[in-house]
Amino acid sequence: MTQARCLMLDVDGVVVLGRPDGRHWREGLEAVLGLAPQRLAEAFFDPYWPEIVTGRRPLRPALRAALADCAPQVSAETLIDYWFAADAQLNRPLLEALVHLRAAGLQVHLATNQEHERMAHLLQEMGLADHVDAAHHSAALGVCKPDEAFFHRIAARTQLPASAHLLIDDAPRNVEAARRAGWLAEPWQGEGLVPLLARHGWA
């Protein structure tokens, strides 16, 4: 059995679970801000997000341009505040488990598709920096999961063999891509870290 040396955690769906009621942060957007989620997707996420999440375009100018077209009554700052506050339920049992794992010598990193502003918010305002040893996000890497380059670039940063990394992710295609890149990987289904880590030398 190959023992994992560095646990790589996806953020959304694993470490952060959306709204406190379990629903997606965009649900309720129309009631609160008068902006239909589908309209936001068409005006902002579809045309701009691929470049934003890989660091090729900043968030706010693109969001301002999109809102001017689809919801001129909403400022970019208002939408970002709503988004970051709504998409913020931390997985407390998982974070508590990380304390013991790190004390036992397992490195814990984040490996996530995020743009720069929300990544900073997650680490600083939501306090995730206190729970992990490092964080790797797509906007800094220039590539998103499930592209295998995402995993190769992180391994170049950690200076560990590919097989020393264990990804926990709720997206099956990301798990499959990590394995193709030589990583260990397990799908997250909410069962807790203990049974997943037991398969990789951390019983």
Query: Does residue 23 sit within a domain?
Result: no
How high is the pLDDT of residue 14? 97
> What 8-state DSSP symbol labels residue 110?
E
Query: Does residue 113 sit within a domain?
Result: yes
**Range in 16-30, 118-132, 133-147, 160-174 with the lowest mean pLDDT:** 16-30
How high is the pLDDT of residue 19? 79
Same domain flag for 102 and 185: yes
pLDDT digits (tens, 9 = 90+) for 82-116: 999 988 999 999 999 999 999 999 999 999 999 99
Helix (H) / strand (E) containing 185: strand 184-187
Same domain flag for 37 and 126: no
Same domain flag for 101 and 49: no
Query: Does residue 108 sit within a domain?
Result: yes
Spell out a b/e string for 150-179, using b for 16 or more CB atoms within 10 Å of the CB, else e: bbebbbeebeeebebbbbbbebeebbebbb
Q: For the chain, report the end-to-end CA distance as a whole number of angstroms.
A: 12
pLDDT digits (tens, 9 = 90+) for 8-56: 999 999 999 987 777 778 888 888 899 999 999 999 999 999 999 999 9
Give how far Cα 51 sits from Cα of 39, 81, 145, Å. Answer: 19, 21, 14
- Mean pLDDT in the chain? 95
